[in-house]
Amino acid sequence: MGTVVERKTRFVILSKMNGCTASAALEGFTRQMKRLPVALRRSMTYDRGSEMACHPELSRRLKIDIWFCDPHAPWQRGSNENTNGLLRQFFPKGTDLSDLSQTALNDVARLMNDRPRKTLGWNTPAEAMAEELAAIKPTVALQT
């Protein structure tokens, strides 16, 4: 399972991966991140795992910049690390994730996105994302 957390709204996207390979990460992240509006997927920050070996192709497919955290610096992806901790409530250590469907992951992401967060003034990530989308729609309509 791959996790993507939108930085400003803390909106969570979970991606089914068929293994822990770079090609599995490429396909999973491409499929799920394309669900985000272009205006919200300008960059991605990831740790230095081998599963991101195909990052140049991911960058090309999604037209985004990909940044990597410094080694041993998980605080540079704090929102994602916090989200991974919250996901342990649904998937305790040792859970076999290979049996989960994308639909099941979407259900968990929906529960996470409907959970109020102190950092968002007790709004939910879904509410914060809706506000963000409403704010960018007028500017998108003006573009030709």
- In sign, the C-alpha dihedral spanning 129, 83, 75, 97 is negative
Q: Which CATH architecture has domain 2-76+112-142?
A: 2-Layer Sandwich (3.30)
Provide the pLDDT for residue 124.
97
pLDDT (tens place) for every residue of the chain, 144 residues total? 988 888 888 999 999 998 889 999 999 999 988 888 887 787 777 777 888 899 999 999 999 888 888 877 877 777 878 888 899 999 999 999 888 999 999 999 999 999 999 999 999 999 999 998 888 866 555 554
What pTM does this model have?
A: 0.82
Provide the pLDDT for residue 139.
55
Q: Terminal CA-to-CA distance of the chain, rounded, Å?
A: 38
The full set of domain ranges for the chain reads: 2-76+112-142
Provide the pLDDT for residue 122.
97
Provide the pLDDT for residue 135.
85
How many other C-beta atoms lie within 10 A of the C-beta of residue 43? 11
Residue 14 and residue 109 in contact, taking contact as beta carbons nearer than 8 Å: yes
Provide the pLDDT for residue 75.
76
Amino acid identity for residue 91 in this structure = F
Beta bridge partners of 110: none
Provide the pLDDT for residue 144.
46
